Chains A and B, each alone.
Chain A
Amino acid sequence: MVMEYNPKIPTLRPYIDPDNQGFWDGVREHRLVIQKCKDCGLVIHRPRPMCPRCLSTEREWTPSMGKGVIYAYVNVIYQNAGYPGIKAPYSVVVVEITEGVRILANLYDIEPEGVRIGTPVEICFDDIADDLTLPKFKRLNS
Chain B
Amino acid sequence: MFDEYLARRYRTTTRPKKEHYLVKDSAAIVGIGATEFSKDSGRSELQMVCEAVKAAVDDAGLQMEEIDGFVRFEMDYTDEMHICSSLGIPKLTYFAECGWGGGASCSTIVHAAAAIAAGVAECIVCYRGMNEASGRRYGRIPGTPSIMTAPRDHFGSILPFGHCTPPGWVAMFASRYLHEFDATAEDLAWVSVVCREHANRNPNAIFYDRPLTVQECVEARMIIEPLRLYDCCVDTDGAVAIIVASAEKAKKLKQKPAYIVGATQGNATEGELMTSYYRPVISGLPEAWYTGQELWRVTGAIPSDVNVAQFYDAFSPLIPMQLEEYGFCDRGKGMDFCRGGDRIRLGGELPCNTSGSHLSEAYLHGMNLIAEAVRQIRGTSTAQVKNAELSLVTGGLGIPTSAILLRN
**A residues neighboring B (CB under 8 Å):** 9, 11-17, 19-20, 45-47, 52, 71-78, 80-86, 90, 92, 94, 101-102, 104-106, 112, 117, 132, 134
Contact = CB atoms under 8 A, between A and B. Distances in A.
A94 B269 contact: no
A74 B168 contact: yes
B141 A84 contact: yes
B176 A106 contact: no
A73 B168 CA distance: 9
A135 to B, nearest CB: 9
Contacts of A45: 278
A75 B162 contact: no
Given A74-B168, A117-B175, A46 B157 contact: yes
Given A15-B156, A106-B162, 15 more contacts: A15-B152, A16-B156, A19-B153, A45-B278, A71-B176, A72-B172, A72-B277, A73-B172, A74-B172, A84-B143, A85-B143, A92-B162, A94-B277, A104-B161, A134-B160
Cβ-closest 9 pairs across A and B? A15-B156, A83-B162, A75-B225, A12-B159, A74-B171, A14-B156, A77-B222, A86-B162, A72-B176
B144 to A, nearest CB: 8
Contacts of B221: 77-78
A74 B153 contact: no
B143 A81 contact: no
19 contacts: A11-B160, A12-B159, A14-B156, A14-B157, A14-B160, A15-B155, A72-B179, A74-B224, A76-B224, A80-B140, A82-B224, A83-B141, A83-B159, A85-B162, A92-B172, A101-B278, A106-B162, A117-B175, A132-B160
Nearest to B158: A104
Contact of B223 (A81, A94, A105, A106): A81
Interface in B165-183: 165, 167-168, 171-173, 175-176, 179
Nearest to A48: B153
Contacts, number: 118
B223 A78 contact: yes
Contacts of B225: 74-75, 77, 112
Contact of B153 (A9, A17, A52, A94): A17
Contacts of B151: 15
B164 interface: yes
A80 B171 CA distance: 15
A101 B157 CA distance: 15
B209 interface: no
Contacts of A82: 162, 164-165, 168, 224
Contacts of B156: 12-16, 20
A12 B381 CA distance: 46
B96 interface: no
B272 interface: yes
Contacts of B226: 74
Interface in B55-91: none
Interface string B100-128: 00000000000000000000000000000
Contact of B278 (A15, A92, A102, A134): A102
Contacts of B223: 77-78, 81
Contacts of A92: 161-163, 168, 172
A7 to B, nearest CB: 13
A75 B223 CA distance: 9
Contact of B224 (A20, A81, A94, A104): A81
